[in-house]
Structure 1
Amino acid sequence: MRYVVMVSHGQFANGLKDALMMLAGQREDVIASGLENGKSADEFAQDFEKTIDFIKQDDEIILLGDLIGGSPLTTAMNVIHEKNMDEHCIIIGGMNLPLALTTVLMKDTLDKETFLQQVLHEGQTALKEFKIENDEDDDI
């Protein structure tokens, strides 16, 4: 099985998972874990290890983290490496809802390279400035 595992500072990953369940339906293959305020990276590592304990050695993990180089992502990567599961792992930092939704919906339908291109494209193109135009001048 291919799992989407999201890690973040605070409750971001859990909130993102909640939003994903609204859009993609309830899924057993989406997991979220957050580094709670006041907890150490070592405590997060223990919690994260318990969270992914059921994932088998031959399963695949798509690891999404909120910040590249942040404690949740680097700690999760270390735990996955210690469990010798990194051979079957895709890691993406800088997650957002469009990237996560595309990951969940496309993870089982595309080869690895096409999958990576598609989800990264979705995550990047979702970022745009939104301007509200003032129509007052038209009313004069």
Structure 2
Amino acid sequence: MKGIIIVTHGKLSEFMLESASMFVTNTEAVLPISFVPGQGVEDLIVSIREALTRFTSGDGVLALVDLPGGSPARAAGTVLSESSELLEVVSGVNLPMLVEVLMLRESMSLPELAEYAVASGNDGIVNVGKVLRGGDS
């Protein structure tokens, strides 16, 4: 099974996983990693490496991070440069992305899942007011 790690500023990762579990009951091999005040990028790198070790028996790990260029993304990028075949990293995590990834992670390869995460994250961003007024999304 592919592991999923959610790496965010603050406890957003924990809350996103809690919310996603309202839609997807199988959250096995999913680990939220929170970047909290007092920690540095090195702490995140250690946590991400530990997650990779924890999920080694699976089919790799998809890291969903919040901001491109932020500390979680930089830490995941550092680990990616060390373990490129075991890890994919996608930034801009949102609830639609997380739910879709959790539902479909066993039906795709790790690179395919990363691409799908990007597409579903983008598709989850809709100007609802414009749609309701009859315009495009």
The correspondence of residues 22-41 of structure 1 with structure 2, limited to 5 A, is: 22-41=22-41
Compared with structure 1, are the counterparts of its residues 56 and 120 closer, same or farther at alpha carbon in structure 2 (3 Å cutoff)? same
Find the counterpart in structure 2 of residue 68 from structure 1.
68
Deviations 1:23-72 (A, max 9, x none): 10142221110110232212333344344432217641111110111111
Separation of aligned partners in 2, 1:10 and 1:28: 22
Letter in structure 1 aligned against 2:27: R
Compared with structure 1, are the counterparts of its residues 114 and 75 closer, same or farther at alpha carbon in structure 2 (3 Å cutoff)? closer
Compared with structure 1, are the counterparts of its residues 102 and 75 closer, same or farther at alpha carbon in structure 2 (3 Å cutoff)? same
Letter in structure 2 aligned against 1:122: S
Query: Once the two structures are aligned, what percentage of the paired residues are identical?
Result: 19
Gap runs ≥5 in structure 2? 133-137
Give the root-mean-square deviation of aligned CA atoms: 2.5
Larger radius of gyration: 1
Find the counterpart in structure 2 of residue 104 from structure 1.
102
Separation of aligned partners in 1, 2:110 and 2:45: 27
Gap runs ≥5 in structure 1? 134-140
* Structure 1 contact 45–75 (Cα < 8 Å) conserved: yes
* Structure 1 contact 33–51 (Cα < 8 Å) conserved: no
Matching of residue 55 in structure 1 with residue 55 in structure 2 = yes
Find the counterpart in structure 2 of residue 15 from structure 1.
15
Separation of aligned partners in 2, 1:130 and 1:99: 18
Shift of 1:76: 2.5
Give the TM-score of the pair, scaled to structure 2. 0.79
Secondary structure at 1:100's aligned position in 2? helix
User: Structure 1 stretches (4+) deviating beyond 6 angstroms?
Assistant: none
Secondary structure at 1:27's aligned position in 2? coil
Give the TM-score of the pair, scaled to structure 1. 0.78
